[in-house]
Amino acid sequence: MKFAHMSDCHLGGWRDPLLREAGLQCFERAIDICIDEEVDFILISGDLFDTSRPAIDIMERTVSKLKEAKDAGVQSYVIEGSHDFSPTGKTMLGVLEKAGLFIRVSEGKATEEGKLRLRFVTDEKTGAKITGLFGRMGVLEAKTYESLDRESLEKEEGFKIFMFHTGLEELKPEMFRHAEGMSISSLPKGFNYYAGGHIHKHSVDDWGDYDKIVFPGPIFPADFGELESLEYGGFYVVTKRGEKLDTQWRRLGLYDVLKLEVAADGKTPEGVESEIEKWLEEVYVKDKIVLLRVEGTLASGRSSDIDFRGLTSSAMKKGAKLVKKKTSKLSTKEYEEITVTSTSREDLEDRLVREHVGQHKLGKLSDKELFKLTKNLMKVLAEEKKPDETKRDYNERVRGNIVSALGIGDEWEEMA
Ligand SMILES: [Mn+2]
């Protein structure tokens, strides 16, 4: 028996077109490997899609690949994850299942004692018995596990696989220490393989009665932090040799990742910029995804003074596939030193606006004039539509107010 186990494909997840495409290509490559290596079946442990209603183009690519697998005689078994789950039960996975592309295994019914009895699906080719529970959010999930009719699951004979989509306290990697997880003991005992999902890092563990607990990690890193820490995604090919299961992680290395972390503390924007420039001259960026993380407090200037656009274009000229930056933990002295101890919202707004007003220039306006203008604009833009007002009238009114707040009435008329 040989099967593939993947999870957390998050298809359609990235906003960046190159990364979105990379995710799709990794998925397609994974399915190709499954077909080439003639695995008996494929397990997808949740988060196939990034949302419960993925975009049409994403669906099209996914469906045609799943169909290829199906046509090649490779059956797929799927559970919903926290991302493609929908409380209404209306998810694209339901549609795809109806079309025969895969089987959702997480189904059950309530017993007389109010327990949840899960149904096993038997794989035709191998006789493997597969069941599992879809993932949702936090407490709801724990409740479902508590209500499981464990006895019926545990006494079932044969080669058994349990699919689940949740973090496990005892196995949680450092990077997920804040994430909510449940205890391994919540899982039913006696299965041959626990096909996990949700934890975006691959791992294989044996834990007492739980013989093989496996997380494949994402098929492609799902965000900036994962690109940094994981660099690649992948999935497992599992081969049964006698009583033993041999797990092999297949790395899906579409692009290599190159990363730089700059500590900006006490540096000027120019200093940070030249540090990145120098690094870009030394490394080989061709066909790579370049990640720049800048953190700390600049001694002077603003983070927007760092010419990321210029840095990006010079890296792209040298053949980089993509440059992404992370500056959310980058701050500047000017901004950082503002401490506000105020109670009323109005007062707080005033002080914040006053503190920042000097950092922007608008024509010949003095700070005092700019303060007044900012306040006026905030007031005008906060106006809500009146109940008896049409959308069009409301738009007109707000537009008029903005024009008069900006004092550009005459020019505006001329332009119009
Ligand atoms: Mn996920």
Place of tokens 């496996």: 214
Distance CA 201, CA 183 (A): 18
254: Cβ contacts below 8 Å, ≥ 6 apart: 22, 25, 26, 29, 220, 232
> Cα torsion for 225, 227, 230, 233, to the nearest 10°?
130
Q: Residue 31's pLDDT band (boundaries 50, 70, 90)? A: very high
At residue 202, the pLDDT reads 96
Given a contact cutoff of 8 angstroms between Cβ atoms, the answer to whether 226 and 218 are in contact is yes
Could you give the percent of the chain with pLDDT greater than 90? 60
Q: Residue 6's pLDDT band (boundaries 50, 70, 90)? A: very high
User: From ligand 1's centre to the CA of 203, what distance in Å?
Assistant: 15
User: From ligand 1's centre to the CA of 318, what distance in Å?
Assistant: 33
Question: CA geometry: angle at 30 spanning 70 and 173, to 5°?
Answer: 125
The answer to whether residue 416 scores a pLDDT higher than 50 is no
Neighbouring C-alpha atoms within 13 Å toward the C-beta of 156: 26
Given a contact cutoff of 8 angstroms between Cβ atoms, the answer to whether 217 and 234 are in contact is yes
Place of tokens 């332009």: 415
Could you give the percent of the chain with pLDDT greater than 70? 94
At residue 112, the pLDDT reads 83
At residue 211, the pLDDT reads 85
At residue 379, the pLDDT reads 87
Place of tokens 């096909």: 195
Active site residue 83: yes
At residue 322, the pLDDT reads 97
Mean pLDDT of the chain: 89
The answer to whether residue 13 scores a pLDDT higher than 90 is yes
Q: Helices (DSSP H) in 42-110: which residue ranges?
A: 56-71, 92-98
At residue 174, the pLDDT reads 78
The answer to whether residue 415 scores a pLDDT higher than 70 is no
- Reading the block at residue 108, the tokens are 């059950």
Of 40-44, 71-75, 356-360, least confident by mean pLDDT is: 356-360
At residue 336, the pLDDT reads 54
CATH 3.30.70.270 for the 2-252 domain, yes or no:
no
Distance CA 118, CA 8 (A): 23
What are phi and psi for residue 73, nearest 5 degrees?
Answer: 85, 20
Tens of pLDDT along 161-200? 999 999 898 888 877 777 777 889 999 999 999 999 999 9
User: Considering 5, 10, 83, 165, which one is annotated as catalytic?
Assistant: 83
**Length of the chain, please?**
416
User: From ligand 1's centre to the CA of 322, what distance in Å?
Assistant: 23
Tens of pLDDT along 301-329? 888 899 999 999 999 999 999 999 999 88
User: From ligand 1's centre to the CA of 241, what distance in Å?
Assistant: 30
At residue 52, the pLDDT reads 84
Given a contact cutoff of 8 angstroms between Cβ atoms, the answer to whether 257 and 226 are in contact is no
The answer to whether residue 341 scores a pLDDT higher than 80 is no
Tens of pLDDT along 277-290? 999 999 999 999 99
* CB neighbour class for 25 (10 Å; exposed up to 12, middle 13-18, buried from 19): middle
Within 10 angstroms of residue 103's Cβ, the number of other Cβ atoms is 15
Mean pLDDT, residues 325-336: 80
Domain ranges of the chain: 2-252, 256-334, 342-415
User: From ligand 1's centre to the CA of 58, what distance in Å?
Assistant: 17
The answer to whether residue 78 scores a pLDDT higher than 80 is yes
User: From ligand 1's centre to the CA of 133, what distance in Å?
Assistant: 15
* CB neighbour class for 156 (10 Å; exposed up to 12, middle 13-18, buried from 19): middle
- Reading the block at residue 25, the tokens are 């290509």
Neighbouring C-alpha atoms within 13 Å toward the C-beta of 47: 29
Given a contact cutoff of 8 angstroms between Cβ atoms, the answer to whether 248 and 216 are in contact is no
Higher pLDDT, 63 or 169: 63
Tens of pLDDT along 122-171? 999 999 999 998 887 555 677 788 888 999 999 999 999 999 999 898 88
User: From ligand 1's centre to the CA of 325, what distance in Å?
Assistant: 22
Given a contact cutoff of 8 angstroms between Cβ atoms, the answer to whether 66 and 48 are in contact is no
